[in-house]
Structure 1
Amino acid sequence: MTGGRKAGDALSPTDARALSWFVANQAGDDPQGFEAWRAADPRHDAAYARIERLWGSSALAGAARRVRPGRRTRAATTASALALCLFAVTGIGLRLTGTQIAWPADHATAIGEIATARLDDGTLVTLDSGSAIDADIGGDRREIRLLRGRAFVTVAKDARPFRMLSGDAVIRDIGTRFAVARGAAGEQVAVEEGVVELRATADAPARAVLGAGQASAARGAGLAPVHAIEPFEAFGWTRGRLYFSGRPLGDVVDELRRYHRGWIVVANGDAATMRISGGLRLDDPDAAMAELARLSGTRITSIAGRILILR
């Protein structure tokens, strides 16, 4: 495992779609669709204009020199360079190349890596791609803080109490195997075995008690309702697999973005809402996206081996 702080997660949806349309326009794809998108919102036109302003710029020239020639069309090479410029301008170029900035953490994984750490008390912590924890095991304390990403914890038997912190949320173990994930929707907790107690903050009076096959989330000062989960899907990532049943393709792609060192965009709005079922390997996001394209009847455009666009 390696230390690292992930730069940004993605371009804004508007910039992402603008770049996708730019790539399409180089090949002359769907001009009517492009004009309709551009006219739908002034922000669309502004985003596309930002890309056009990069054309011929010194930044574009420099980025183009960094794109490995290979067997690509001029349009693909130009789009690759523009993407590199956009990532640099928005501060997420490091995410595109898979490079990470050193950041203190007791245990961490790089993008695309899933690894398990054994703590001093024998507790096993499996870290998902781009995740990190700090651990404080000693004296009468057993405490883990999730700094980013997602972790699956198999708590060792020990007389000392065990708790996990994620944001302001506090998860207290009562002998269990559980997963915690940090995200925009709050601190997500899912239990595979045993029981955990979840509080939105350390001193919050309200609590949720979760048993095997249940999940909840701490959102701000509140707790989401406890609900049932399908463990096979919820914990498949710990075995390097992503399983899904009747989920929108856009949601599945969101999961794959955790493991891809570059950028994935869905440029087909109809496909994004299509509900699909299946299983994918997480160690090969390119192959996984190709399978999603097959399931949804779409196609994949790959740029410089770093940018995948589903149309």
Structure 2
Amino acid sequence: MTLSIERQERIEAEAADWLAALDAGRADVATFEAWRASDPAHALAFIRMNAVWRDLDRLRGGRSAHEPADAAAPPIMAASRMPLPRRTALKAAFGMAGALAAGGAVFVASQAAAHTVETAVGERRRFYVADHTCLDLNTGGRLRWWLAEGQLEVELERGELALDLPQGTQPCTLHVGAARFSLGPGRFNVRLRAGDVVDLATIAGKAWVLPLHGRSETALVAERRKLVVTDGKQQGQPLSDGDIQALSAWQEGEILFDGQPLTEAIVEYNRYLPAPIELARADMGQVRLGGRFLTNDPSEFLKALRLNFGIRAEVRRDRIVLSS
């Protein structure tokens, strides 16, 4: 059925408003998805408007057509109206795009606006995106997320992330370092370590390692398995109940040690502390310890070292020095 000119203009204006709000990080994603799904004309208008917007950005020397725009945080506010000059330019370009499409040109929608989330040292952020997927970003982390054709894509740029995808959700594509995964419904923990080493743990559910660099194989990461990816090489291992408890402890503001050397324990603890812990002598680091401690308060950890191993802590302005 042919749309009336008045209705077509209204839909184009709404698509322009949504695109501006998404790009600025002001849109409510659930409301936007409901608007787009309510009428095929809405979806088509948004796809075409999105393509035109990217073309305008390229002409201005801005982002490439395949790079999502950054926004400060996940959208939580209703969309506001686009300023008239920008909106007028978009509508004019949209009209030209329609003429090109009638002549056989094909428009491909690129990624909608991406949203950047960061955490400071010692901070953790938990939030919900898309279809009630929960993302929990650990200390000193940074990620970007966006919707591509209605499916969630997440890129972990640094740090550690827990993902909880409820039953019935579409697969999520996860980009971490040089690795790429497809996650089904379930619970996952992923960490990007130094040297682009990627740890992916499937606590519940299944994940698939997606092919890169022309490879055709897709590897399955089964439930209760951990996959370590280093320089494209994959090494898997099972997860015990203790492993899962240790992986999940940070989501409760805790850190769990089970026989690790003190050097490793300090590296883990320092991820959460603005004033890092240091050893006065390297040979002290071979002490092995266990216990559950608070990530934002090392006082009980330091007390355990003193009582069990005679290791004293000197708290200075910018660090904590351990000596015996």
Other structure's SS at 1:106 match: strand
- What is the identity, as a one-letter code, of the residue corresponding to 2:194? A
Residue 262 of structure 1 is aligned with which of 275, 280, 284?
275
Structure 1 163/293 Cα, relative in aligned 2: closer, same or farther at 3 Å? Answer: farther
- What is the identity, as a one-letter code, of the residue corresponding to 1:143? E
What residue number does 1:175 align with?
185
Q: Is the 8 A contact 2:151 2:170 kept in 1?
A: yes
**In 2, Cα distance between the equivalents of 1:227 and 1:251?**
21
Structure 1 289/198 Cα, relative in aligned 2: closer, same or farther at 3 Å? Answer: farther
Residue 149 of structure 1 is aligned with which of 159, 166, 182?
159
Other structure's SS at 1:130 match: coil
**1:266 positional shift:** 1.9
**1:172 positional shift:** 1.1
Residue 274 of structure 1 is aligned with which of 287, 290, 299?
287
Is 1:195 the equivalent of 2:222?
Answer: no
**1:188 positional shift:** 0.8
Other structure's SS at 1:238 match: helix
Q: Which runs of 5+ in 1 are unaligned?
A: 1-101
| Higher RCO by CA contacts (8 Å cutoff, separation 6 or greater) | 1
Q: Percent identity?
A: 21
- What is the identity, as a one-letter code, of the residue corresponding to 2:245? F
Q: Is the 8 A contact 1:208 1:226 kept in 2?
A: no
- What is the identity, as a one-letter code, of the residue corresponding to 2:170? R
Q: Is the 8 A contact 1:259 1:285 kept in 2?
A: no
What residue number does 2:231 align with?
220
**1:247 positional shift:** 1.1
Structure 1 131/223 Cα, relative in aligned 2: closer, same or farther at 3 Å? Answer: same
**TM-score normalised over the length of structure 2:** 0.59
> Could you tell which deviates more after superposition, 278-287 or 117-126?
278-287
Is 1:117 the equivalent of 2:114?
Answer: no
**1:174 positional shift:** 2.1
**TM-score normalised over the length of structure 1:** 0.61
Structure 1 114/237 Cα, relative in aligned 2: closer, same or farther at 3 Å? Answer: same
Structure 1 245/215 Cα, relative in aligned 2: closer, same or farther at 3 Å? Answer: same
| 1:269-294: CA deviation from partner (whole Å, max 9, x where unpaired) | 33311221111111213443343344
Structure 1 270/239 Cα, relative in aligned 2: closer, same or farther at 3 Å? Answer: same
Give the paired residue count: 209
**1:155 positional shift:** 1.4
Structure 1 295/192 Cα, relative in aligned 2: closer, same or farther at 3 Å? Answer: farther
1:155-166 superposed matches below 5 A: 155-158=165-168, 160-166=170-176
**In 2, Cα distance between the equivalents of 1:173 and 1:269?**
41
**In 1, Cα distance between the equivalents of 2:248 and 2:160?**
11
Structure 1 232/202 Cα, relative in aligned 2: closer, same or farther at 3 Å? Answer: farther
Q: Is the 8 A contact 1:200 1:222 kept in 2?
A: no
Is 1:139 the equivalent of 2:121?
Answer: no
Structure 1 138/105 Cα, relative in aligned 2: closer, same or farther at 3 Å? Answer: closer
Rg larger in structure = 2
Structure 1 287/276 Cα, relative in aligned 2: closer, same or farther at 3 Å? Answer: closer
Q: Is the 8 A contact 2:225 2:236 kept in 1?
A: no
Q: Is the 8 A contact 2:120 2:140 kept in 1?
A: yes
**1:218 positional shift:** 1.2
Other structure's SS at 2:265 match: helix
| 1:8-28: CA deviation from partner (whole Å, max 9, x where unpaired) | xxxxxxxxxxxxxxxxxxxxx
**1:264 positional shift:** 2.0
**In 1, Cα distance between the equivalents of 2:305 and 2:181?**
35
| 1:131-171: CA deviation from partner (whole Å, max 9, x where unpaired) | 11100125333100001100000013455331111111112
Cα RMSD of the aligned pairs, angstroms, is: 2.5
